Amino acid sequence: MKHIPEHLQALVGQAIKRIDTPALIIDLDAMDRNIERMARFAQQHGVLWRPHAKLHKSALIAHLLEHAGASGHCVQKISEAEALAEGGIRNIFISNEIVAPTKLERVAKLAKALNAEGGRLAIAVDCEAGVSRLAQALQQAQAGDKAMDVLVEINVGQNRCGVEPGEAAVALAQAIAAQPSLRFGGLQAYHGGAQHLRTAAERKAAIEQVLKYVNRTCHEFDRARIAIPLITGAGTGTMVNEAASGVYCEIQPGSFLFMDADYASNQRDAAQPLFEHALYIKTQVMSLSADHAVCDAGHKAHAIDSGLPRLHALPAENALRFANGGDEHGVLHPDAEAGNTSGWLPALGETLWLIPGHCDPTVNLHDYLIGVRGGRLKGVVERIFTVDGRGALT
Ligand code: PLP
Ligand code: MN
């Protein structure tokens, strides 16, 4: 795990006001409630939950999730898997395709290392070349007798990765089974585009379509007399649908842990646990004009691909609208429509908390997450998390 510098370590036990800005803060009370609600949801629905670590990229958080009952962790990249493994995580699924031989060498090496410790690395594929190259890499690494679990990703409507549902998926499973170093581990069936459809009805309809693709594929596996050990997929937006389907055995939401402004714009499904915002950017006012204030968090402090951050916990008469001021600046305007008719602005040096538009890429902009407990006003720093997989893009 990454080293925590002394000045940050010294914050532990200190009041929140001692945290310099801009900083990425986790409200640990809210995060714990999110974890607890997810664990209960999964138990009630009889599904496993394998949270996606692309969100937090932190081995310590992965350990907390495991402690609460997570069945393991998803990652998108071999470098993310390596970062988690370095921090003691032993059960990892790369829910993504890897075909480059240099990366597959690393996959084979990590699979061998995790196997030796009683752990497990699994991976998704969507073409035969991916299967044969992986098998070759495992052979070269002399990865041992234990076969590696390989899941067939099917294209369930996102038109990103994935083999076409049905017979093509069966053929790929057969190609996996033909390799002594590989074992067919099941189906990866995730629809990213469905997560942020705004109404619960739209998301339900999208997953009904996904289920048609999955069921058609299951039918072809039945015909070929091949058992499917696991069907996995789902994100925070649609998980209620996959969990209730009776088809998915595992869900892989990530964002539920922190929730972002974009997810807050989704109409909540009645069956969805109440997930709270738990990730904030603490910022302060660094310049003031007659009609606007400027804070020290620009888009180097938060990702803006899914919209700008929102201001947290300001009463209507103090409502502010965040405008992008560039890399290092955020411009704050009185939001008259929301109730700030007096033109109120925060004072120079005043602290504000922002809710990021999109939590995954926001975390990836930071080296540390500062975990606080006890509320925004009276809370204290409890622990510092390193973003171990920050910049892990390969
Ligand atoms: N599974 C896969 C394959 C993903 O790509 C993602 C996110 O992009 C997730 C799960 C988690 O989704 P979310 O963070 O929206 O819960
Ligand atoms: Mn995301």
CATH of the domain at 353: 2.40.37.20
210 in the same domain as 114: yes
Q: Answer whether 91 contacts ligand 1 (Cβ < 6 A).
A: no
CB-based burial of residue 102 (10 Å sphere; 0-12 exposed, 13-18 middle, 19+ buried)? exposed
Last residue in a domain, options 207, 224, 255:
255
283 in the same domain as 201: no
Q: In residues, how long is the chain?
A: 394
Q: Tell me how far the alpha carbon of residue 52 lies from the centroid of ligand 1, in angstroms.
A: 6
Cα–chain-centroid distance for residue 363? 10
183 in the same domain as 90: yes
Ligand closest to 196 (CA) is 1
310 in the same domain as 163: no
Nearest partner of 354 among 305, 288, 310, judged by Cα:
310
Q: Are the beta carbons of 50 and 256 closer than 8 angstroms? A: no
CATH of the domain at 221: 3.20.20.10
> Cα(338)–Cα(96) distance, rounded to whole angstroms?
42
218 in the same domain as 272: no
Ligand closest to 161 (CA) is 1
Nearest partner of 243 among 271, 217, 222, 218, judged by Cα:
271
Q: What does the radius of gyration of the chain's CA atoms come to, in whole angstroms?
A: 22
97 in the same domain as 231: yes
Cα–chain-centroid distance for residue 237? 12
87 in the same domain as 216: yes
Q: Tell me how far the alpha carbon of residue 363 lies from the centroid of ligand 1, in angstroms.
A: 15
Nearest residue (by CA) to ligand 1, atom 1, is 252
250 in the same domain as 113: yes
56 in the same domain as 4: no
Q: Answer whether 52 contacts ligand 1 (Cβ < 6 A).
A: yes
pLDDT of residue 390: 97
- Whether the link from the prior residue into 180 is cis, omega within 30° of 0, is no
> Cα(303)–Cα(292) distance, rounded to whole angstroms?
22
Q: Answer whether 248 contacts ligand 1 (Cβ < 6 A).
A: no
Ligand closest to 363 (CA) is 2
pLDDT tens figures, 257-269: 999 999 999 999 9
Q: Answer whether 232 contacts ligand 1 (Cβ < 6 A).
A: no
ipTM topping 0.85: yes
Last residue in a domain, options 199, 227, 255:
255
Q: Answer whether 190 contacts ligand 1 (Cβ < 6 A).
A: yes
Ligand closest to 258 (CA) is 1
pLDDT of residue 2: 82
Angle, alpha carbons 153-192-152 (nearest 5°): 5
Atom of ligand 1 nearest to the CA of 239: 16
68 in the same domain as 165: yes
CB-based burial of residue 322 (10 Å sphere; 0-12 exposed, 13-18 middle, 19+ buried)? buried
Question: Is residue 393 left, alpha or beta, with left meaning phi > 0 and alpha meaning psi from -120 to 50?
Answer: alpha
pLDDT of residue 143: 87
- pTM of the shown model: 0.98
Q: Tell me how far the alpha carbon of residue 157 lies from the centroid of ligand 1, in angstroms.
A: 15
Q: Answer whether 157 contacts ligand 1 (Cβ < 6 A).
A: no
- CA distances (Å), origin 133, targets 98, 177, 181, 229, 311: 9, 14, 12, 23, 48
Work out the end-to-end distance of the chain between its first and last CA atoms, rounded to an integer number of angstroms. 18
Look at the chain and report how many structural domains it folds into. 2
Q: Tell me how far the alpha carbon of residue 172 lies from the centroid of ligand 1, in angstroms.
A: 23
Range of the domain at 185: 29-255
Last residue in a domain, options 235, 255, 275:
255
162 in the same domain as 65: yes
303 in the same domain as 192: no
Atom of ligand 1 nearest to the CA of 95: 3
Q: Tell me how far the alpha carbon of residue 6 lies from the centroid of ligand 2, in angstroms.
A: 32
Q: Answer whether 58 contacts ligand 1 (Cβ < 6 A).
A: no
Q: Tell me how far the alpha carbon of residue 156 lies from the centroid of ligand 1, in angstroms.
A: 14
Q: Answer whether 251 contacts ligand 1 (Cβ < 6 A).
A: no
Q: Tell me how far the alpha carbon of residue 161 lies from the centroid of ligand 1, in angstroms.
A: 14
pLDDT tens figures, 149-180: 999 999 999 999 999 999 999 999 999 999 99
Segments in the chain below pLDDT 50? none
Residue for token pair 């990249």: 77
Cα–chain-centroid distance for residue 207? 19
Q: Tell me how far the alpha carbon of residue 372 lies from the centroid of ligand 1, in angstroms.
A: 26
- Residue 159's contacts (CB-CB under 8 Å, 6 or more residues apart) are none
